[in-house]
Structures are given as structure tokens and as C-alpha cells.
Structure 1
Amino acid sequence: MARQHSREGAIQMAKYFVASTDKAYRTNDPSTIAAISSKSCAGCQGVIDDVAKNKRAGSHQDGQGMRVDAVLPRPTPTNELAQEVVELLIDSSTVDFVKSDGSHAFTSTGKKWTLRVFLAWVAGGWQIQAAGEVRQ
């Protein structure tokens, strides 16, 4: 579905981005985020850098931290590189980060928030151009 050059394909790619971000924090492997995002995506690079910091510290997320609660109504694109914009309501659970020996490193407090994802159709697939929390 994410390979379809359609609104639904863009929505599926935005959901995949959320799932891949959550998995990156659990496994300390952000390679999927790097593969599906533009090098100019600051939010994507922020995730990659944060996961690398956790890996250096020897900690990782213990369990699922983020899930998509809803796809919000279509916003107006404000990024000239994006062909589609998807807003998702995210439920971030309170999760523990643990060290490699299983001891507690820190806790990330959960919240509900809105993620805005800008996507472009590049070389036969959707690519994340920008992503970040919508500040109210």
C-alpha cells in the first residue's frame, strides 16, 4: 500500500514511519528511518541521532512506545518539497529504557500528540521529507 502513488499510500508510509521509529528505539537500529527519509529531514535525523545516543549509553526502549490512534483530516501542504502531508494522532506510552544488563536507565513519559509528516514521491516510492510534532 505504501508503494501506491496515492493519498492512501502516503498515509500508509506515514504510519510505517511511526512503527519504524518505535522499532528503532527498541532495537537501537535506525537504518529503516535512514532508508525511507530524505537526508534533509531534520526530524528524521533527530530520531537517528537520539537512537545512536541511546546505543552509546547502552540503553534501549523496553516495549512499544508509540502507536497511531487516528489519521487526522488532510492539512494544507506548507513544504514546497512535499506532495502529500499526513497528520497522525500519536499515543506515546510511558516506557522504560533499560541498560544491556536489564537495569533501569530512565523512563520516558507518555503523552498524546500530533505528528505532521511531509512526503514526496521519489523513485517509485514515498519518501519522508520532514516530520515533527505539531505545536498547538
Structure 2
Amino acid sequence: MVDICRSLGRHGPRRFYALNTGVSTLRALKPAAEILAAEGILLRYTDLLAVMGPVEKTVARQEGGTHADEIETSMILYMDPAAVDMSKAVKDYRPGTGRLTRDPKGEGTYSPSGVWGDPTLATREKGEKVVEALVAGVLKEIENLRRSPLPK
């Protein structure tokens, strides 16, 4: 990200927005933004927890999850319902730490299905609320980026 913004920045742009679709990626984007700020380049990015968290709390009923779960499945049901086969949805949630693994002897949280959460609770209506909140949040962040002063 730093190299891309630097390269484009040589041609004039000094403000960049990364449409971030993950949570683990924040660990890389934050230091990238700090490095670029020292060079007078402003990098902002989507923080899914900040943008979607409030609405997720109002619609989610699962005990936990973050991958192919109630929320992600609901989002796809809203955006592309034909891509979802709810007959294959299974609850697969085992509280744990570390990344998901499909290897029962592997490090991390074992998930034989690849799901971490409860997609059986997903609905198009929940997806609409979450997706629309995400879009509104991204647009607001981009507008804030446009109005923000460049770092010195």
C-alpha cells in the first residue's frame, strides 16, 4: 500500500482511500498510514468494526463469529441472493483464539465447515441494514478524507 500511494503521489494525488474489507488488515494499514503521513500523504481506510459494529449489534443473534457467519451471509443474501444456498448453512462456532483452520490438529480455531458463526440466522433484511450502513460509512469517510488537511 505504501509503494502504491507513493508511486501515485509522485504524479500529484496526496489523498488515498483503501476500501478495506477485513479486520486483520488493520494491523498493516495503520502503520502504512503513519509512514505516508510523514511524507505528506494522507491514507485513510475502512475500519469495518467502527463502521458496521453499531448496526451489527442491533441485528446479530449469533453467540459469536466472523467468517461466513450470520452477518456475512446476510450481506450476500442482500447483494446477491442467488449466490447463497441456505440449505448448506450450518452453525459452526467454537470459541477460541487464533486463525481458523480446517485441520483438527492444526493451530488455531478448528472449523470443519470453514464457518465461524451461525449463518442459519442470516436474512436478506439483516444484510440490507449492514450493507447500507457500510456504504454510508464509507461515503462519510471519503468525504472526511476530502476535507482533511494534508499532513505536514
- TM-score, normalised relative to structure 2: 0.27
More helix by share: 2
- TM-score, normalised relative to structure 1: 0.29
Rg larger for: 2
More strand by share: 1
